[in-house]
């Protein structure tokens, strides 16, 4: 979490809230809070422990793992992924010229470096610009590696745009929710109804459990809610 554009996003939310005066103080708060990201550390270690067999798969995870190993299908029958069919049915190109650094690490470094650099020097994260830069550089790399010609690369770009439209719509709705809750004074209302019993100890405990529970309920009803959308609610209350 500390080495991605997520840091710029969270510090932008925290700046001006409660005792956080500016974005420098918000970044310092984010860095000091890294040891308390229990869920992030747990997720990373759980992936490691499951992959090496230290923690056995159970329930639906075991069934999905067995299906992927035996049939190669990563989604169950009737699954509706949160992306277009264009991406799920896209066949990867096998090439001996591709490499871990040029095809994976370099785009990630460009995204992270552009976001953090723009946040430090400009005061806001250049999320769109960072991804456009990474895609442009990666397209040139793929052309140099002769993975595909320019027509094929541009066709892949168009397919990718079509495939991520559901996620784009969710992001747009998240911004709408942010604006609506701010105009309605949701934070002030929640403070008014909880200030008589909410304590500094209860607040992080309540946020830690209420947000995952609301996310799991949303997933059962039809689809995931982005973590950046859910996380936008408790910050003004802080």
In this model, does residue 4 exceed pLDDT 60?
Answer: no
Q: Confidence class of residue 177 from pLDDT cuts 50, 70 and 90?
A: confident
In this model, does residue 217 exceed pLDDT 60?
Answer: no
* pLDDT given for residue 136 in this prediction: 93
With pLDDT > 90 as the criterion, what percentage of the chain qualifies? 7
* pLDDT given for residue 230 in this prediction: 53
Q: How far apart are CA 3 and CA 229, in angstroms?
A: 20
Q: How far apart are CA 238 and CA 227, in angstroms?
A: 17
- Most confident range (mean pLDDT) of 60-64, 140-144, 198-202 is 140-144
Assigned token pair, 150 = 């320019």
């Amino acid at each position: 979490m500390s080495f991605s554009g997520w840091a710029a996003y969270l510090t932008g939310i925290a700046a001006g809230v409660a005792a956080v005066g500016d974005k420098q103080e918000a970044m310092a708060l984010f860095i000091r809070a890294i040891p308390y990201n229990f869920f992030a550390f747990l997720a990373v270690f759980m992936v490691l422990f499951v992959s090496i067999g230290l923690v056995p798969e159970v329930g639906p995870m075991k069934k999905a793992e067995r299906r992927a190993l035996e049939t190669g299908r990563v989604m169950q029958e009737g699954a509706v992924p949160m992306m277009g069919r264009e991406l799920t049915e896209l066949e990867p190109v096998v090439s001996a010229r591709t490499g871990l650094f040029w095809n994976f690490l370099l785009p990630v470094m460009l995204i992270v470096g552009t976001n953090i650099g723009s946040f430090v020097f400009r005061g806001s994260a250049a999320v769109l610009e960072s991804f456009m830069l990474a895609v442009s550089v990666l397209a040139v790399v793929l052309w140099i590696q002769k993975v595909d010609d320019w027509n094929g690369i541009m066709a892949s770009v168009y397919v990718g745009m079509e495939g991520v439209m559901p996620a784009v719509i969710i992001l747009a709705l998240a911004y709408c929710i942010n604006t609506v809750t701010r105009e309605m004074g949701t934070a002030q209302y929640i403070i008014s109804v909880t200030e008589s019993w909410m304590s500094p100890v209860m607040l992080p405990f309540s946020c830690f459990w209420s947000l995952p529970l609301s996310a799991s309920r949303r997933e059962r009803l039809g689809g995931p809610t982005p973590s950046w959308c859910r996380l936008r609610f408790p910050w003004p209350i802080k």
